[in-house]
Amino acid sequence: MISEEDKKKEEKDEKLLVDLCECLLTLSISPLSNFHSICVPSLLKVALKKDEDKEAQKGVEMALLALNCIDEFDKIEKELYLNEIKEIIQYHQEHHNLTQFAYQSAWRFLIRRLKWTESLEMDIANELHLAREAARELEELTKSMDWRKKEDEKEGTERKTMNIISRWISSIGHYLNKCHLWNEEYVDLISRIVDVLRASRDNHSEIGEECIRLFNTVAKNRAVKVEDLLKSGAIDAVLEEINRPILDRIITFECKKFFQLISVCLKRKEIDEKEEAKRKAIKMELFEKLEEEGYEDIIASFHEKFSYIFADHNVFIYL
């Protein structure tokens, strides 16, 4: 039906075509590369609309939601989407015309294209400022939530907010797993993730797991320095987690994995002598922090108790 409608030169039903494209992308689980040349431009055309009435806004949100259902392994030529999606994001940054869900969906679609377009990271980091925008969005979302409520007590709007927060963390983790650029904006972004972790601590352990997994992703990235994790508060936040009286098994595993990764970072040899001296100073600061607050013994005490977890996952603790 999509192919037939697209072939019409006259009397083409644009609304029907968009509806069909949305259905195809949101319901299909198979590769759809044959339809990208039709669906992507059609949906971006809708998403580019700048009308502020509710019906138009709903159409924009649906189009962006459908676009971010495209799998990251589906290759899309950048000529089909790059200028349009950048315009959508930049227009929102200036005029705030999208809902939080629609804006996050636009970013999610773009980040998933990173696998196929090497130059895209420059656009994402330096032109569109992902780190700055994601930090601002997460700060607003975190403040709007009543974190005292348990998940099963939350209603429609709060559940949607939780979903957006979770999608942001997932998208940021996906990006940071592949990025090579790093600047001060990313330190602030990690600080906002720390805020989410602390806010979710009592009643939303799944969000906490996502946050610590993201810290692990950051620690693996060779562009990141341990000092960035100290400055952002990530190390303090993870230390707080393992010092809690009631421990979640998965979160404990992720925390210990985090310190294993930090230890690997500290063992890297720097070619530059200044960088090597800086690394040693950071290492000393971290060890002093562990010793001063008694966390070194806490980490060591977990090693035997949870050794079977790490044996299964080939994880080795260096601290």
Residues 122-149: pLDDT tens digits?
A: 999 999 999 999 999 999 999 999 888 8
**Is it the case that residue 110 has pLDDT exceeding 50?**
yes
Tokens 């377009």 sit on residue: 117
Mean pLDDT of the 241-247 span: 80
Per-residue tokens: 247: 């421990």
- The three-class DSSP label of residue 2 is helix
Q: Is the pLDDT of residue 317 over 50?
A: no
Least reliable range by pLDDT among 100-109, 166-175, 249-258: 249-258
**What gap in Å lies between CA 115 and CA 121, rounded to an integer?**
10
CB atoms within 10 A of CB 99: 17
- List of residues 6+ apart from 319 with CB closer than 8 A: 259, 260, 262, 263, 290, 296, 299, 300
- Dihedral of the CA atoms 19, 20, 26, 29 (nearest 10)? 180
Question: Is residue 297 very low, low, confident or very high in pLDDT (cuts 50, 70, 90)?
Answer: low
Write down the mean pLDDT value for the chain.
84
Residue 73 has pLDDT above 50, yes or no: yes
The label of the residue with tokens 């676009």 reads 67
pLDDT for the residue 260: 85
User: In the prediction, which pLDDT does 270 show?
Assistant: 53
Tell me the H-state helices in 177-204: 184-200
The Cα–Cα gap between 239 and 198 comes to: 12
pLDDT of residue 319: 34
pLDDT digits (tens, 9 = 90+) for 49-66: 988 788 888 999 999 999
**Nearest-angstrom CA–CA distance, 233 and 218:** 13
The answer to whether 243 and 298 are in contact (CB under 8 A) is: yes
Q: What is the pLDDT of residue 291?
A: 64
Q: What average pLDDT score do residues 184-208 get?
A: 93
pLDDT confidence band for 309 (50 / 70 / 90): very low
Where does the pLDDT of residue 202 fall: very low under 50, low under 70, confident under 90, or very high at 90 and above?
confident
% residues pLDDT > 70 (the chain): 83
